[in-house]
Amino acid sequence: MKSPCPQIVIRDLVISPPLFLAPMAGLTHLALRRVIKEIGGVGLLSTEMLAARRLPGENPAISSFLLRTEQERPLSYQMAVARAEDVAPAMAALHRLGADAVDLNMGCPAPALRQQGAGAALMEAPDTVRAIVAAARKSTNLPLTAKIRLGATLDEVKLRDFCLLLEGEGIDLLTVHARLRGESFVRPPRWEWVGRVKNWLSIPVVANGGIHSPADGARCLALSGADGLMIGRAAAEMPWVFAALATALHGAPPPVTELNLPSVYHRFADLLEAHFQPERRLGRLKEFTHYFQKNYAFGHHLAMAVQSSSSWQEARERAEVFFVKHEPKVVALGR
């Protein structure tokens, strides 16, 4: 008898399979989330990073950051916050939006965010973090998670103390991006350090960074012992990566044996056209194309054609011309 697909349960939320979409600026909006969900294999979706101080005033009917459909469940809302006093109003807004979970961004290395005292800067401010997490825990019964990097340097004592602080104040699950604050995506991730965090904590730990294939996922799990995997850039390049991981790592049946690549791209574009204001579409298509083109040997031609387009219609026509001329047309999803 086949063993059931593994799951993570935090409070009332069941995450199965234990595969998470990483929050990514300009990418993890409605269109990408819907494409990923329709293909299958993802356990928890995520919004883009949202500014806590702006959330109470955002209009979900028109904000491109808050647009969502009922199919995008379960959905975690990631919040960037620097001050504890901003937490309660932001949490109230997320309750109104129907969040299934809330994630606190404590790892983004972007200088602009760190200058505000948010993102990775919080790892240097444990008292502020304690106040923020305590305020968040007091404001919600939703699953409360956090995402961190390993720190500015490899300091085991400092990282351990920080992780234990988060667990002690009520974080239900911790995601660790296995790189230092200043390390770029080309640097191989330090998955074994996620294993250290796993050994320190009793809450679930999810590994993030450098996972682009089932082979990567298997090696990460072996080195880290993590409870789940979070996928970032590979999800934009290959929205079917969750289905491939779920099949290879957890025995889930593939949703289909193969996918038509141009159809995936056009579905993404159709969702942008259906849900986003005209002025919000082209930039998001260009951002997605930057990643999706990596599926093709001559994908840079697709990227250049779309990036140089001055209108929505021109971009879509140029993309179609590329797909007619270039392989691959399909990608296999079977075992």
Residue 79 bridge partners (DSSP): 50, 104
Helices (H), 47-117: 87-97, 111-115
The residues spanned by each domain of the chain are 8-250, 258-332
Are the CB atoms for 119 and 113 separated by under 8 Å? yes
What does the alpha-carbon distance between residue 89 and residue 212 come to, in Å, rounded to a whole number? 37
* Per-residue pLDDT at 2 exceeds 80: no
The pTM score is 0.96
**How far is Cα 8 from Cα 14, in angstroms, rounded to an integer?**
6
Q: Which of 5, 108, 163, 220 is catalytic?
A: 108
Out of 179-183, 259-263, 302-306, 313-317, pick the least confident: 179-183
The pLDDT, as a whole number, for residue 304 is 98
Q: What does the pLDDT read at residue 335?
A: 52
Is 108 annotated as catalytic? yes
pLDDT at 1 over 70: no
pLDDT class of 4 with cuts at 50, 70, 90:
low
* Distance in angstroms (rounded) separating the CA atoms of residues 218 and 117: 35
8-250 classified as CATH 3.20.20.70: yes
